[in-house]
Structure 1
Amino acid sequence: MVGICDLKPEDQLLLNCSLTLLSGENIKRIKQLTNQDLDWNYLIDLAYKHRLSPLLYWHLNRSSPEAIPSNLKLELKEHFHKNVQKNLMMFKELLEVVDILQKQGVVPIPYKGPVLAILIYKNLGFRIFGDLDFYVPIEDVPRTRDILVNEGYEPWEKLTSAQEKSFYKFQREYHFINKLTGINLEIKWKFLSTLIPTSNEPVFQENEFFKEVNLDQFKVKTISPEYLILILSIHNASHAYSSLYRFSDISELIKYCSNIKWEYLLKIADDWGVKRIFLINLKILRELFQIQLPGDVLELINNSNVDEVSKDIVKRLFTSKPRGVLEKVVFHSNLREKRKDKLKTILIMIFLPTPGVIESVSLPWALEPLYYILRVFQMVKNVFTNQ
């Protein structure tokens, strides 16, 4: 496994600044690294790429302000304050959406975004997010859609009634944009990625899965942070572990939670066939973020044959080498433990109709299987265009 010492000084500096609270050792290491001859343009670009520029600015400005080139320091400062303003506006909109839907009998569950920023990071400006995520039970989705449209939100997907039925079946989220503020919403009826085929999400019906929390004196219902560790780990894998901020989210959650029921989380992961996915997250978090894990979990990680894939993920985090279409299929299938799950993942990636495929043509129920063929055509096109 590639170690943190094998990374560039700039990579190490970003990692040391990607924590909410710095230890004395972190501050010492930041000062050591900023005394070196750094490629500051590379560092700033890397921070933007991984949505960690707010934390980089915050910690450098306190630990080694004199080390930052003046023009880049001003750029980081302006970017930080613009992000704070944007996040405040998005938090306000989150509360408004919750209020609007609740008044009409729908209970949305916001998570990620502002919820993480306030609850876990303790600072709305520390995290960059591009949209607002809400979970709504599938039976409430049509009504939620109508309410949002009446409130001025425009759906990205322009669907007929037949297309909507197929969309509910094959996909897991609707996208909306507020035509006045430009803020994007995602309304999800499934927490798990479509790459993780499960017939249902039974654990999500348990009372302890949801928790009422205070967000800056406002009470909202969200996912219990302990369960969110697993949800975000699966989400991270669905994006091929491609961004450091997703690891940072999980790292901060683990530090936030006390008395994590690791055995129970691992059992859920095993039941869903995503135990390997979960362990890869924990392996990399241990390597890059030095999170503390119980001895039995560490032993499980060490005996799980995840070193090579974890090493490849870490290398790609700090390079711009993208995976091709077929390489993505192989990668995601290799994340699963069982042959049947590997095969399901391959079939999903090749045949599952994407939003674009469903939106391209309205098919009656009897012809719905044609969406699979259209998806294959799209896949072949992507292979040749390397998209």
Structure 2
Amino acid sequence: MPTYLKPKLKITVEGFMNTLTQLPAQKKVSATSPEIELLLSCARTKIDAPIAEQIKNLIEQGINWEHLTKTAKRHGVMPLLYQSLNNTGPNKVPQQILNQLRDNFQANTLHNLFLSQELLKILKLFEANDISAIPFKGPVLAAWAYGNLALRQFSDLDILVNKQDFPRARDLLISQGYNRCNQLYWECELTSDQGLYNIDLHWEIVPKHLCHFFSAEELWEDLESFSLMDTTISNLSPETWLLIICIQGNKDYWLKLNRICDLAEILRTEQRINWEQLIKQSEKLGCKRQLLIGLLLAQNLLGAALPTTISQQIQSDSAVNVLALQACEWLFPKTIQSVEGIKIIVWTLHTRERWQDKIKSILGFMKNSNWITPKQDDFIFLPLPEFLSFLYYLIRPLRLITRLLIVLVTWTKRLSFTKITLSNG
């Protein structure tokens, strides 16, 4: 078993109070399956000699190929799995499995080429109507970080516009046959007229209560030129890419390996990263811990190299190691499960290092969910006559905030006495 999969501690989130108030217990993580080890070895664009040998050895041990392909599909890394197996030892893979992976690879290639062409059409349409736009993730990330459109899976197109341009951009897409299917408070989801793909039209990268990210106007000051299918488009800086991927990965609790692959590929291919600037930006945005969690996952799971200064930053925040371990548990659970309810807010609050950001997150969850709806325990806590029942909408938020603050203070104090590190062997 690779040493990067042998952390000294195992942290689980079983309940709200227990998770926040108990110190992490010394436990060993059970050995991962050979299928997961093989997937981690294959989920990269470059295979060096030691990794190639490891892939061959794992295959010879016996692989549950159905489980491997299902897991790769769930994590959005089927193209990487096919390329690595095909280049390393195709004669060791059952022909039926290799054919299945090849067919999927070819279909994904055609799909990505189609979406890339659609993206360029939309950008040209926006330009003709004086709407500045920044594409992110999707085809741009595949071509820029992976060096090959075929090696990354994506199902939709993400485009960022200025907030004042958003209504025009949305209406322009609708006039071209796109249908609005969901309006969120940081983006609008539209689907193509035939329902083949979605466009996520953003005026914010993520909801503000999760991270008050740079506005579109600020991002325009740090753009680079990039050639996508022989067309010059605007691209984000390496530092901004790393921040966006880590923030969005954190928003989704790192449930899929493909986000970590994105980070690892940027770290492998991009030599211009200004690490000092990156840390300063993350501190300004209040997302330094989220950044460090993502970088640690890329290093420990996919072997991405980090500068010594970044490793020191990771070691200085013991919560980063705890949260990275929790992310690994959610990434490869024994049984497929959803992360919901109290686990979501516990995770989000732990990944915010500043108290003002924790409070914003709490208020954001209350505003955008049914958390402020009075529950039975509120009625028991303070029975009120019918004509005063409206006060429960004030009582419930106050009770939740008080409870959260108490347990967060307790957890933070105890965590400060605990130095938790991931074992490297």
1:73 is matched with 98
1:1-387 equivalent positions in 2, closer than 5 A? 3-4=4-5, 6-157=31-182, 171-180=185-194, 182-198=196-212, 201=214, 205=218, 209-305=222-318, 306-319=320-333, 320-352=336-368
Deviations 1:182-234, CA, capped at 9 Å, x for gaps = 22111100123444242x72696265521111112111112123311111111
State the Cα distance separating 1:2 from its structure 2 match.
8.0
Matched residues in 2 for 1:143 and 1:207: separation? 19
Matched residues in 2 for 1:119 and 1:259: separation? 13
Deviations 1:137-163, CA, capped at 9 Å, x for gaps = 0010111111111111111137xxxxx
Q: RMSD of aligned C-alpha atoms?
A: 2.3
**Contact in 1 for aligned 2:246/2:290 (Cα 8 Å):** yes
State the Cα distance separating 1:331 from its structure 2 match.
1.3
More relative contact order, 1 or 2 (CA 8 Å, 6+ apart): 2
State the Cα distance separating 1:57 from its structure 2 match.
0.9
Give the gaps of 5 or more residues in structure 2: 7-30, 371-389, 397-425
Judged with a 3 Å threshold, the aligned counterparts in structure 2 of structure 1 residues 195 and 13 are, in CA distance, closer, same or farther, namely farther
Q: Secondary structure at the match of 1:157?
A: strand
**Contact in 2 for aligned 1:117/1:127 (Cα 8 Å):** yes
Matched residues in 2 for 1:207 and 1:13: separation? 40
**Contact in 2 for aligned 1:2/1:311 (Cα 8 Å):** no
Matched residues in 2 for 1:327 and 1:267: separation? 29
Matched residues in 2 for 1:109 and 1:202: separation? 12
Matched residues in 2 for 1:259 and 1:101: separation? 30
Q: Secondary structure at the match of 1:28?
A: helix
1:366 is matched with none
Q: Secondary structure at the match of 1:30?
A: helix
Structure 1 runs (4+) deviating above 6 angstroms are none
Name the amino acid aligned to 2:345. Answer: V
Matched residues in 2 for 1:181 and 1:323: separation? 28
- Structure having the higher Rg: 2
Give the gaps of 5 or more residues in structure 1: 159-166, 355-369, 377-387
Name the amino acid aligned to 1:310. Answer: A
Q: Secondary structure at the match of 1:328?
A: helix
**Contact in 1 for aligned 2:254/2:330 (Cα 8 Å):** no
**Contact in 1 for aligned 2:135/2:235 (Cα 8 Å):** yes
Judged with a 3 Å threshold, the aligned counterparts in structure 2 of structure 1 residues 202 and 105 are, in CA distance, closer, same or farther, namely closer
